[in-house]
A and B are shown apart, each in its own frame.
Chain A
Amino acid sequence: MTPLLRLTDVCVDIGRKRLLDGIGLTLDRGQVLGLVGESGSGKSLTALAIAGLLPLIGGKVTGGAIHFDGMDLTAIGEARLRSLRGKRFGFVMQNPMTALDAVQRIGEQIDIVSRLHLGLSAQAARLRTLDLMAQLRIAEPSAVAEAYPHQLSGGMKQRIVIAMALAGDPELIIADEPTTALDVTVQAQIIQILTRLSRDRGLALLLITHDMGVVAQVCDRVAVLYAGRIAEERAVEPIFEAPSHPYTAALIGCIPRDGMAPGSLHGIPGAVPVSGRYPSGCRFNPRCTHAADLCRQERPALRALPSGGSVACHFAKAETS
């Protein structure tokens, strides 16, 4: 069976700069795929590319294909894309503080999605809205539906944004760092609610995050992005047991654990290179502890791993193709 979402060799340019270079991903119904990487690695760009929203920031898909349920999203045009947005895939924005219209009541903002995409009447849409809010564990849904965004807390707003994403009954949810703007105390709640709901409904969830801890807890597979390229893409358990890419290993090394000696938590030295000034060869080589001459000269191809998944590193123990 073909997966619900398959990105093959997707390239994205803004102006003359190539910001995503050969991204490949697959995601199936009922699966949670974590997309991780540091700021500037292209996580949000990937999400915008899937939703066809790149024109908003002046970007363009210049190569590859994005297949969603058999359709190539890069070829179907804006009108068809708009009919898919919200109906077949929902989007959860990074910052819930600004993702809601300040002068419209909460309930109306959720209602309109199911009225538009499911053709529900006003009453039916409101019932659906209240039901969704209850599923998102919002206390007193009917009171909250009458409130304006400024009357709600950040965590509450993010639940509303999730409700809006779910209201059109989509098969895929793209959540772009859904907890970055929230208090630590509600982050876990939101992630839990999001993954529980998507598992209950058999949705595919693309969870963009830079928190490897979250990935370890809720994702089935994980794709590690570095400087616009995929570094490694595998199931979650093996990647945490034995990461194949030095960058993945370094990211995992950044998670604090119980019983760690003080001072033993390390960051990754250096920073993600700026687009347009990428080093030649492997883009991670200036920060890599294993870098050799080969890494500075030749771009490592993405190779299949014996245990499933793939990695782009010259020194990973991969099947030779």
Chain B
Amino acid sequence: MTLSRHLTVLRTILRRPGGAIAGAWLACVVLAALFAPLLTPYAYDAQVLKEAFQPSSASHLLGTDEFGRDLLTRLIYGARTSLSVSSISILISVVCGMTLGAAAGYFGGSFDRMVTTVVDLSWSFPEILIALMLVAIIGPGTSGTMAAIAVAYLAQFARLTRAQIMTLKSETFIEAAQSLGASHGHILFRHLVPNALAPVLVSAMLATGDAIILEATLGFFGLGAQPPLPSWGSMMSSGSALLFKAPWIIIFPGLAVAVTVVAINLFGDALIAALDIKDQVRRGK
């Protein structure tokens, strides 16, 4: 796509009120996560026990937690964990899922049957089950969570890509490329995958929202990022025991997850509308 086309798409997204608000929120969260150390005077693991359980004030905008750590600081650093874990795991998932799905759709035959069977089988389990099982095998922590989320969403991208490739490969331009001597690799990676990319990218965008929830869930169970590194899930987990004593400890990370996921979904919907690919995104589901 050319730069002007990118700009047109972006403008179309931002013209929708949902898309504009969602885009603004996501930009804020991403920037906050990137520049976390510049935004806050506190360290995320600095414990000041005598300042524990403080409600919001001028020095601690969102209050402090049970160890007297600044909640806003932990929320911003938590955004770092949540966003990086979910986006990296979705990236891995997209690359692996697309490769599998594209190869299965293009070559067909017994390889396709094998991939389809495994993918359909994993599709029949909820993502959280697959992720929990994998974390149990790999062990808790950031990299374990990433691997678990990547595998949990693999089926979705493999299916979507396969469906795209199946419809594209009987197009005349593929036949034309073959008639001029193009190899399988060239047809697959230069013609089929670029043409199949748009719906997969949008679906990846929406899956990132789901992945944030999944990461928070694993964090809530204590399987995600290990203390003292904050993640939205683990913050909610420690706050849940103190729901009546210091409700802000659970409310703010909860809000962060909710608003960010809603924003990603709104932005994704606007992106689907701007790219005009509603039917293609549905096809893989």
Contacts and interface: CB of A to CB of B under 8 A. Distances in A.
Most buried by B among A91, A94, A117: A91
A116 B190 contact: no
Interface string B175-201: 111111111001000110011000000
A161 interface: yes
A165 B180 contact: yes
Nearest to B192: A101
A116 B194 contact: no
A161 B177 CA distance: 10
B222 to A, nearest CB: 45
Contacts, number: 67
Contacts of A165: 180
A104 interface: yes
A103 B195 contact: yes
Interface in B57-98: none
B195 A91 contact: no
Interface stretch (A81-89, A202-210, A235-243): A81-89
A94 B179 CA distance: 12
B173 A53 contact: no
Given A95-B172, A101-B191, A102-B195, A53 B181 contact: no
Q: For the side of the interface on B, what is the size category? A: 10 to 19
B180 A93 contact: no
A56 interface: yes
B176 A161 contact: yes
B181 A103 contact: no
Given A82-B181, A85-B181, A87-B181, A164 B194 contact: no
B180 A100 contact: no
A53 B183 contact: no
Interface in A57-109: 82-87, 90-91, 93-95, 98-104
B14 to A, nearest CB: 24
A116 B182 contact: yes
A314 B127 CA distance: 73
Contacts of B171: 98
Interface residues of A, number: 29
A51 interface: yes
Contacts of A230: none
A100 B176 CA distance: 8
A113 interface: yes
Contacts of A99: 172-173, 175-176
A93 B179 contact: yes
Contacts of A87: 181
Interface of B: 1, 171-173, 175-183, 186, 190-191, 194-195
Q: Give me the 9 closest cross-chain CB pairs, A-B, nearest first.
A: A86-B181, A86-B180, A91-B179, A85-B181, A98-B172, A99-B176, A103-B194, A99-B172, A101-B173
Given A101-B177, A168-B180, 16 more contacts: A51-B179, A82-B181, A86-B182, A91-B180, A93-B172, A98-B171, A100-B176, A101-B191, A101-B195, A104-B190, A104-B194, A112-B182, A113-B181, A116-B186, A161-B176, A164-B176
Interface of A: 51, 53, 56, 82-87, 90-91, 93-95, 98-104, 112-113, 116-117, 161, 164-165, 168
13 contacts: A53-B179, A56-B175, A84-B181, A86-B179, A93-B172, A98-B173, A99-B176, A101-B173, A101-B195, A113-B180, A165-B180, A168-B180, A168-B181
